[in-house]
Structure 1
Amino acid sequence: MGKAANIPAVILAGGLARRMGGGDKPLREIGNRRLLDLVIDRLSPQASSIALNANGPTERFDAFGLPVIPDSLPGYVGPLAGVLAGLDWAAELGASEIVSVAADTPFFPRDLVDRFRTERGAAQIVLAATPHPSKGALRQPTFGLWPVALREDLRQALESGVRKVVQWTDVHATVEVVFDAPDGRDPFFNVNTPADLDIARRRFEEGKV
């Protein structure tokens, strides 16, 4: 599937990175590579085109050669605003759906999009998940497959105050695709703190990606 599937993707990088002391998390480095470089490398074979959802001056991302789209609502209201920005961008491309991934999660599955497509069934929305000992599965709500047809519904939900991803997805036909954690390595490990960055660096250096 991959590029032949003609599914565009948006990388969500619109947060404030407070736990990292501010700044752009995607520009932090592990193994002499920026986090965003690693995310793009993993996503490119799976998507027909890629946009970056980020707020503020766009010039700091010029080196990546991606269109930069800001949140559709002001005030850093969460990842759903980035999803909506991605859906609006995808609509301009004439696409019927879009995949989202997080900019601070460099080890996500290389078969993410293929599994989303093959396991979606009749669902409108697909979310990634990982096994959880007590909850069964733990949703990874920044990793999803979203239909462009729901973008106005999402816009209205955001304007009415909805902020949590699952608060909106739970009212639509949503399915979870569960990705295992080989050898206990979470494929959706994300870099939120300086300590997380150290863990990611060790994991990258050890080739456990």
Structure 2
Amino acid sequence: MRARRAAILAGGLSRRMGLPKAGIRLLGRPMIAYPLAAAAAAGLEALVVAKKDTLLPDVGAEVLREAEDAVHPLAGIVTALEHTGEPLVILACDVPLVPPGLVAELAERTAPLVVPADPRPQPLVARWDAALLDRLRPALKTGAPLVRLVAELGAEAIAGEELRRFGDPGEIFFNVNDEAGLARAAKLLVPQAGTSSTRAL
């Protein structure tokens, strides 16, 4: 079954940057706007999953809240899958260079779990199916590492030349964690751009 929707994981407060990552400005737009735009360009309806008290910019999409004590990255995935009961393309909000073509490819796959690998698996830019929930809930309770869980579940990989046709993996999976990362993301998005302010949701 083709995935019809994407779930954007907004997470919570960035300890390094002092703001919720979803609202940090990147070239004048909230960082979460980039995966939302990639999902829309791939023809997917988007929803957003955030920590209980995370402040979000206007995302123009349904917002789900994780359980109050959720800390594992799997929590957002489980929350979204339980809500929809269908396969979803999962996108982290702090990976702003993921191309729509890769999002569309993930949506078209039919395996329960499809994960790009560069060669490290990218489980927060992946297709997850609600059929996996019976195995995901126990893993969430035990805090199993996400990459190990992906291996145990026998994920189908998108790797090598198949992956590189969507772009340089070092760029498309670039994760923004601090001011330096924000500056690099801005340069990758618009090569002539300088740094961008992190202030304001």
Cα deviation for residue 73 of structure 1 reads 6.6
Q: TM-score, normalised by structure 1?
A: 0.79
Alpha carbons 2:116, 2:122 under 8 Å: kept: yes
Q: Are the structure 2 counterparts of residues 149 and 26 from structure 1 closer, same or farther at C-alpha, using a change threshold of 3 Å?
A: same
Cα deviation for residue 13 of structure 1 reads 1.6
Task: Mark the runs of 5 or more structure 2 residues left unpaired by the alignment.
Answer: 194-201
Cα deviation for residue 17 of structure 1 reads 1.6
Aligned to 1:83: 77
Cα deviation for residue 128 of structure 1 reads 1.5
Cα deviation for residue 67 of structure 1 reads 1.6
Q: Are the structure 2 counterparts of residues 51 and 139 from structure 1 closer, same or farther at C-alpha, using a change threshold of 3 Å?
A: same
- Aligned-pair identity in percent equals 28
Aligned residues: 189
The answer to whether residue 27 in structure 2 is matched with residue 31 in structure 1 is yes
Aligned to 1:128: 116
Q: Are the structure 2 counterparts of residues 71 and 56 from structure 1 closer, same or farther at C-alpha, using a change threshold of 3 Å?
A: closer
Q: Are the structure 2 counterparts of residues 172 and 75 from structure 1 closer, same or farther at C-alpha, using a change threshold of 3 Å?
A: closer
Task: Mark the runs of 5 or more structure 1 residues left unpaired by the alignment.
Answer: 131-136
- How far does the alpha carbon of each residue in 1:116-166 deviate from its partner, in whole angstroms, 9 at most, with x for none? 255x57x43111122xxxxxx12112111111111132112212x133212
Q: Of the candidates 88, 91, 115, which is equivalent to residue 101 of structure 1?
A: 91
Cα deviation for residue 186 of structure 1 reads 1.5
Q: Are the structure 2 counterparts of residues 76 and 50 from structure 1 closer, same or farther at C-alpha, using a change threshold of 3 Å?
A: same
Q: Are the structure 2 counterparts of residues 114 and 48 from structure 1 closer, same or farther at C-alpha, using a change threshold of 3 Å?
A: closer
Aligned to 2:137: 155
Letter in 2 for 1:102: A
The answer to whether residue 194 in structure 2 is matched with residue 204 in structure 1 is no
Aligned to 1:116: 106
Report the aligned-residue RMSD.
2.6
- In 2, Cα distance between equivalents of 1:167 and 1:150: 15
- In 2, Cα distance between equivalents of 1:129 and 1:90: 26
- In 1, Cα distance between equivalents of 2:168 and 2:115: 22
Q: Of the candidates 16, 20, 24, which is equivalent to residue 19 of structure 1?
A: 16
Matches within 5 A, 1:57-72: 57=53, 60-61=55-56, 63-72=58-67
